[in-house]
Amino acid sequence: MGIKITGTNAILVLASELNKTKTRLQETLKRKLPGEQAHRLMLPHGRELHPAPGNNNTIQSSVLMLLFPYNEKVSTCLIRRPSSMRNHAGQIAFPGGRREPFDKNLTDTALRESFEEIGTDSNQVEILGALTPLYVNISNFTINPFIGWSEIVPQFKTDNQEVDEIFIVPVENFLHHTANQLREVTTLSGTFEVPGFYINQLFIWGATAMIISEFNEIFQQLIDK
């Protein structure tokens, strides 16, 4: 397992600015979100954003985009799935997984999965709000992305069955990623071209790219203000 820090050119922010960012983000998440419009920018060809009519059996899941201060920057963590996994092998993702019967709600799912995969302490995480759910038709999953905040850098501890590496990324790097491009990827469904983008050496596509696409539109509003 490795933890890598990506990006050194993000804008430095003072501690007081971190708190302002947290408050503004929390307020913005209560308003109308860009949702589908942002998701479609990163939607692979042939995929759908909504279940087919009559499909009432989608699998509910959650992911956690955890924000925290690192070197005076608002940062988050991405993970790389192990190449040995049957599904999503080698992909860049946020920690998360399917809702279990014992989860009280989808927020609990996000917190539990994050703890199991990267060791984050739910007592140190404040949920600021949620982004727009998105449907992944190839797996029949509905993914519910939550935005969390920690006042300190988490003490990461990975489940090596689920996580190969952790990457700490300043969120402003999301705004300055390499322009959207197509890249050929190989999955269980075959080899095909998908839209995505690079953040340093990480190629991000699929649901993770769609989540970041929506977050970018929200975070850009905060910077513009």
CATH of the domain at 152: 3.90.79.10
Task: Say what percent of the chain tops pLDDT 90.
Answer: 57
Q: What is the mean pLDDT of residues 23-38?
A: 94
Predicted confidence band of residue 194 (pLDDT cuts 50, 70, 90):
confident
Domain with 13 in it? 2-50+59-224
Q: Model's pTM, two decimal places? A: 0.89
Count structural domains, the chain: 1
pLDDT, one tens digit per residue, over 115-162 is 999 999 999 999 999 999 999 888 899 999 999 999 999 999 999 888
Predicted confidence band of residue 24 (pLDDT cuts 50, 70, 90):
very high
Question: Can you give the pLDDT at residue 8?
Answer: 41
- HEC secondary structure over the chain: CEEEECCCCCCCCCHHHHHHHHHHHHHHCCCCCCHHHHHHCCCCCCCCCCCCCCCCCCEEEEEEEEEEEECCEEEEEEEECCCCCCCCCCCEECCEEECCCCCCCHHHHHHHHHHHHHCCCHHHCEEEEECCCEEECCCCEEEEEEEEECCCCCCCCCCCCCCCEEEEEECHHHHCCCCCEEEEEEECCEEEEEEEEEECCEEEEHHHHHHHHHHHHHHHHHHHC
